[in-house]
């Protein structure tokens, strides 16, 4: 080869192309590791999103059942309130009096 360069280089060593090739290889490897890290991170994010969606759907089901229970309780309370108002008021007053005396007794014992 006419430039005096080695047979396999084709003049790259003299013209500075080998420096650029090495830099490109280094940058390519750096890019490859970063892409690999981003890929694994996105897979982990996808897994976490699936888990969170599953938990949210379970919570939705729990809230639905609690809402049904609350609705049934409110229905019973409405039925109870349609009855005799004086009887209900008397029971509430007796309960409040009982709680008051229990608290008074507990405080007196200390």
Give the chain as a DSSP string. Answer: -TTS--TTTTTHHHHTHHHHHHHHHHHHHHHHHHHHHHHHHHHHHHHHHHHHHHHHHHHHHHHHHHHHHHHHHHHHHHHHHHS-HHHHHHHHHHHHHHHHHHHHHHHHH-
* 108 in a structural domain: no
- Whether 31 is covered by a domain: the verdict is yes
Domain span at residue 66? 14-83
| Per-block mean pLDDT, blocks of 10 residues, the chain (110 long) | 49 67 93 96 96 94 88 81 73 92 89
Has residue 59 been placed in a domain? Answer: yes
- Total count of domains within the chain: 1
**pTM beyond 0.85:** no
Q: Within a domain: residue 67?
A: yes
Predicted local distance difference test score (pLDDT) of residue 33: 96
Whether 58 is in a domain gets the answer yes
Determine, yes or no, domain membership for 103: no
């Amino acid at each position: 080869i006419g430039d005096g360069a080695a047979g396999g280089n084709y003049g790259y060593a003299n013209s500075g192309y080998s420096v650029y090739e090495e830099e490109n290889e280094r940058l390519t490897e750096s890019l490859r590791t970063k892409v690999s890290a981003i890929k694994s991170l996105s897979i982990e994010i996808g897994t976490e999103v699936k888990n969170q969606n599953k938990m949210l759907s379970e919570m939705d089901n729990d809230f639905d059942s609690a809402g049904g229970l609350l609705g049934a309780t409110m229905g019973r309370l409405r039925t109870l309130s349609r009855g005799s108002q004086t009887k209900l008021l008397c029971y509430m007053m007796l309960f409040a009096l009982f709680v008051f005396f229990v608290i008074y007794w507990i405080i007196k014992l200390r």
